A and B are shown apart, each in its own frame.
Chain A
Amino acid sequence: MSETPLVEFKDLVVRFKGDRTVHAINGLNLNLKPGEMLGLLGESGSGKSVTLKTLLRLLPPKRTDLEGSVKVLGTDVMSLSGRALAKYRGGDVSMVFQEPALALDPVYTIGDQIAEAVMRHKGISKLAAMDVALDMLTRVRIPSPERRLKNYPHEMSGGMRQRAMIALALACRPKLLLADEPTTALDATVQIQILLLLRELQKEFGMGVIFVTHDIGVAVEVSDRIAVMYAGNIVETGKTRDVIKNPRHPYTRGLLAANLHGAVKGSRLDAIPGSPPPLEEAPSNCSFAPRCSLARPECWKALPPRIDIGNGHEAACVLAAEAAVTA
């Protein structure tokens, strides 16, 4: 690939120190092309949110050990500090959170909050920034945007607040948007509206998006590519279609079965037994082996290899190379 990747994680390791050590991310490698929408899929504790927070340097530095490198458009994120970091956060990369009611400031109007970000990053007057805010509210399809500019977050419904949050995140035209479960707190009929909105805006602005979710259906709905995380690493990645139609890692297959899409009523579900491992020690073998029905002796001996299945589809499993793994 000649193109500079938008995001490049290389052997990222994140450890939290304290009363007990948590190995949150264990040697993660991931690339994102400009304008690509990546769905980062995983269960709680798999390291999805930590990955996003590393990208924005939001982890507490005193309690966190970081190894490896994170680059955004060739710039080493770890080396940023002071003004460069402030410019990077919100300017080049911004984030949408799960709970907009908590992420927005309750004592400022929506218009003021958007305008503040634009004034900081673009250095324009309040008046001009308010015009940008109005334009953004229109783009996220908030009805009667002039009136909504003067609203406080509590005066809006959940779906409306999430739209306002997206408007705020995109106001400075970031090249990369990080979305951390942005629709999990919303009702089903509102969730689909926000997903479709994000998909449209991503095309319109041509930005890269990392969309973190635990819901496989949501990931399929929005992403070009999917990366499945388990115990602090990516176990499978590939084009959405390839991962969904031809999953190679046993964990991905288990997740698809657990989604119950098309499950026969009353039939026994093919559930993955047990629960995710505690991350107190760095893994020295396949983290999924204790729950895997196909585990072999070599799975317990060493970390699984990353096997390239072609077309950018990779799985970290010794069995992935075999074409006819029983589904």
Chain B
Amino acid sequence: MTTRNADLAVRARGLAKAFGETRAVDGIDLDIPTGSICAVLGPNGAGKTTTIRMLATLLRPDAGTALVFGHDVAHDAPAVRRRISLTGQFASVDEDLTARENLVMIGRLHGYSPAAAKTRADDLLVGFELDAAAGRLATQLSGGMRRRLDIAASIIVRPELLFLDEPTTGLDPRSRSQVWDVVRHIVANGTTVLLTTQYLDEADQLADRIAVINHGRVIASGTREELKSAVGAGGIRLRLADPSQRDRAEATLTASLTPHVMKDGDPAALRAQLPAEDLAASTNLAVQVLNQLAQEGIAVTDFTYGQPSLDEVFFALTGESTDRSEVSV
């Protein structure tokens, strides 16, 4: 074991897993430094959950190796399990138990005495603002509460590495920011977090490093700044008054700024990445594009300028839309 490896919470090389003909994970390399938050960003079916399940010792890799704090997930699973905690994509709480019973049960499994497990459960219920719902069955909790309960169960004993599989998918904005706060606190306490997400803004808000995956491979990784500059500082979306002018508008955009122009499912809409390195230049380009369209008599009803969406990051990285139905348009 080299010193460098010891600083890594996760070190995966060529990790692969196939289900029948489908190569769910097709050679993933991943390094996660201890104490950081890494986001694995990708669309549905990209291989995010399969990757997490291999790292959490629930699936055996077909090929490749993965070390969690230096312990091989395939050959030293018990050592890995002592250091990790898993919050699955579908809430990993027992739906037929109350919030409190769920926490007490996990506490007992971790080795707390019955009394200590109850105390710990009550402390966590208060800390996660779940005390009012302590006696409710998990099925009767709102999506946000269930997620918080799920995360609370994952940190009854502080894990060295916490897996969060799509922790905010399906949550309303308020619940989502509550989950984000919890994750930040957990990391501040020294836990390394690996989270998967479909949302660039989530990765942006939380992660030190982002790995973008598609078709079971890492297609880009780095800090958010590195990733964004690779994609372009910003993007624009516009909607035309007359859909028949879309081809002309596309030609204009392509000529004046970038090859990264894509048609949307909406027949009147276009999207484009701005290639400029800095924000001022990006803003300038966006204004020019709008001017140019106006001069050519192409009326725009909607115009947004902002951070690239996941779809645009994907398009920039792969030349392929995340939504297959849009490719054929």
Q: Do A and B come from one complex?
A: no
- Enumerate chain B interface residues (CB-CB to A < 8 A): none
- Enumerate chain A interface residues (CB-CB to B < 8 A): none
